[in-house]
Amino acid sequence: MIKNFLVVLVCFFTVFSSQAQTNTVSENVVLITLDGMRWQEVFGGVDTALVNSKQFTLNPNEVTRKFYDSLITNRRSKLFPFLWSTIANQGVILGNRWRGSLVNNANKYWFSYPGYNELLTGYPDSNMNTNDKIWNPNENVLEFINKKQAFKGKVAAFTSWDVFPYILNVKRSGLYVNSDKDSLRFSDANLQLVNSMQFIAPEPLGLRQDVFTYFAAREYLKTYKPKFLYIAFDETDDFAHGGMYDQYLKSAHAEDAMIADLWNIIQKTPEYKNKTTLIITCDHGRGDKIKETWKHHGSNIEDAGQIWIAALGPSIKPLGELTNQTQVIYQKQIAATIAKLLGFEFITNHPVASPIQFILK
């Protein structure tokens, strides 16, 4: 009888342990987007056809020296060292179509506002079909989380593109969204320094440089300890539209370094260490190879609906780079995944796609 009791007890704890393992909840989430960053460079490194094009690369020798290697794995690691060291070893990366991992936009437009709407609301709304500054009627996952008692006032977004206050509908949501050259109205000296620098610095692309968006977000995180932080970089898309492949690569490389720096801070901060999940993705893809289409995106550009996702943290299975994926993953699944990471089911007044369950512990 005692033996039977012990068997039951062992079974109970085995089941309990298994359930606990599959319901690991993060205390914090950091979401980062690289606007229009192609999966081809993420998984393959520099595209030699574009590097060797005088039309798109001003100094091919410099780019080759910095980023080229004959092995594709080394090439991509040179461009994205943090992604292919830390995240590949400790987290998961999806979207290498050459190896059978498919991640797509569900919206049919394949440009920024529709992509960010899908990403942040879980709903590829066909009415969201412009980049104009219109108030988004769909509830996003940031405002959903901000309504929870433990997260109220602990959700923030820092973005280079000044359309984000509309995408996140600050008029309705009440979220703190620091966008483009919004003044950093804080007493913290480091935030004031970033504020002064961003107003004095040049704007080669006509908007705040990503480095200032990053440092504003970084100092805000260090000072105010948000539980859900969103950082939206923009330069990769702008340089690509301008046909400046070398600058597109340099911005991507710099953003990888910024993400590495932020993760290092997270892992040194008691409120965040081993309690924070990081998700990195993009809003849309773009065209392929040396054709003019690599510069562009939209429903008429083949490949522009092809994206990628990377994730790292206590709630993420260390699956590494996925290959031969059995199901297509869609951008619309990210919002519910974020909510689930924090222990919630994202339910609102519009349809929301299911989470990416198989990457979660």
Looking at the DSSP assignment, which residues form a beta bridge with residue 316? 360
Q: What is the rounded end-to-end Cα distance, in angstroms, of the chain?
A: 36
Q: Residue 243 pLDDT more than 70?
A: yes
Q: How far apart are CA 76 and CA 102, in angstroms?
A: 18
pLDDT tens-digit series, residues 327-337 = 999 999 999 99
Question: In the chain, which ranges are E strands?
Answer: 28-34, 92-94, 103-104, 155-159, 176-179, 228-233, 276-281, 309-312, 320-321, 329-330
Q: How far apart are CA 111 and CA 7, in angstroms?
A: 57
Per-residue confidence (pLDDT) for residue 212, from 0 to 100:
97
Q: Are 230 and 156 in contact (CB under 8 A)?
A: yes
DSSP 139: P
Residue labelled with tokens 């990769």? 236
Per-residue confidence (pLDDT) for residue 260, from 0 to 100:
98
Per-residue confidence (pLDDT) for residue 5, from 0 to 100:
42
pLDDT tens-digit series, residues 263-290 = 999 999 999 999 999 999 999 999 986 5
Q: How confident is residue 351, by pLDDT bands cut at 50, 70 and 90?
A: very high
Per-residue confidence (pLDDT) for residue 291, from 0 to 100:
66
Q: How far apart are CA 293 and CA 151, in angstroms?
A: 42
Q: Which of 280, 282, 247 is nearest to 262 (CA)?
A: 280
> What percent of the chain has pLDDT above 90?
91
Question: Quick count: other Cβ atoms within 10 Å of Cβ 293?
Answer: 17
| Domains (range + CATH), the chain | 27-359 (3.40.720.10)
